[in-house]
Amino acid sequence: MPERLAVGIDIGGTKIAGGVVDEDGRVLARTQRATPTTDPAAVLDAISAIVDEFRGDFAVRAVGVGAAGYVDVTGSTVVFSPHLAWRNEPLRDAVVRRTRLPVLVDNDANAAGWAEWRFGAAQNHPDVVLVNLGTGIGGAMVLDGRLYRGHSGMAGEFGHQRVVADGRPCECGNHGCWEQYASGRVLERRALEAVDAGSDIGRALVELAGAPERVDGAAVGRLAVAGHEEAGAWVAEVGQWLGIGLANLAAALDPGIFVIGGGVSETGEALLRPARTAFADHLTGRGYRAEARIVAAHLGNDAGLVGAADLARLRARRRRPASPGYSVRGPAVARSDRRRRRRPR
């Protein structure tokens, strides 16, 4: 049987990453373009150009798009994107018209979570929660081997659980949201304040980044990994807030494993060690229940495009209609294992 290849496209606020992905989650070819954030038509042009580029060398069977925004439950419309000009954008049908291929559209964090479950850090775990730490906090859930998207397709916006009453204002309009305390924006905010103040860590960040305007949260992470004490303390504080939020999620979802992705996760144990400690300290029923593992994601920046491609390929193979509540299951072994574990004694 010919190898089933799919194109995965991960659309973020600054770049569009595309790749040809095989059935084992390997990226065979890749490309990248800047995201035209103010022009939906230009985004569509970029997607079409990426697919056309790959079809010159590969027999592509489907296209998966991971979009930074709220995607409706049918997997067809980007209802809203905070960083792009999408408002009720019928993206799936537009890409179908351009490419004449089966197309699936999903939230970028859902795509990344699926990839980590299928090919990355959470393989063979039936209940997985991905927490993606970038500028904000996104998330995804694979429960009993199925990507859970919620009633309207917008589940997984973990960053907007409120952890501090009347806390820092958030772009969503509320105050005290989790992502205001446990995301890359927290490190960036502190870094810019330090640069403006001309403090020792501010000067160290400028030296590391090469120029004041290039200082960001990632620079703080690199400084922490290099052993800078104050930068390490900043990352540890983010880790503590991460653990508190994970304990809240565990109370509601009780997953077996949390996978931590996004740029901040590249700090590794500097972030995860304090997160595990805070998680254990705040977990409901602590001491009387199994604790979920907290691990770093494995697939890095490829997770979104790998997951989008795999979801599109699996859905195209099943030839399911684009109906409300669509879902894609993974390998049956996860389901049969869950049935065995749930069987009454």
CATH of the domain at 87: 3.30.420.40
State how far the Cα of 312 lies from the Cα of 306, in Å rounded to an integer. Answer: 10
For residue 30, how many other CB atoms are within 10 A of its CB?
16
Phi/psi-derived region of residue 273, left when phi > 0, alpha when psi is between -120 and 50, beta in every other case: alpha
Domain boundary among 297, 314, 330: 297
Residue 133 sits in the same domain as residue 49:
no
119 within a domain of the structure (yes/no): no
Residue 292 sits in the same domain as residue 318:
no
Q: What is the mean pLDDT of each run of 10 residues along the chain (345 residues)?
A: 82 88 96 87 93 94 92 88 83 94 94 96 93 90 92 88 92 90 94 96 95 93 95 97 97 95 92 97 92 95 95 81 48 42 38
Residue 37 sits in the same domain as residue 63:
yes
Q: Which two tokens stand for residue 311?
A: 């979801």
State how far the Cα of 198 lies from the Cα of 318, in Å rounded to an integer. Answer: 59
pTM for the structure as a whole: 0.86
Helix ranges (H only) for 210-263 are: 217-225, 229-253
Q: How many domains does the chain have?
A: 2
Range of the domain at 96: 5-114+301-342
Residue 208 sits in the same domain as residue 241:
yes
pLDDT of residue 329: 60
Residue 138 sits in the same domain as residue 274:
yes
pLDDT of residue 230: 97
Residue 329 sits in the same domain as residue 275:
no
| Amino acid in the structure at residue 252 | A
Residue 241 sits in the same domain as residue 257:
yes
Q: What are phi and psi of 85, to 5 degrees?
A: -90, 30
Residue 94 sits in the same domain as residue 211:
no
Residue 51 sits in the same domain as residue 143:
no
Residue 129 sits in the same domain as residue 274:
yes
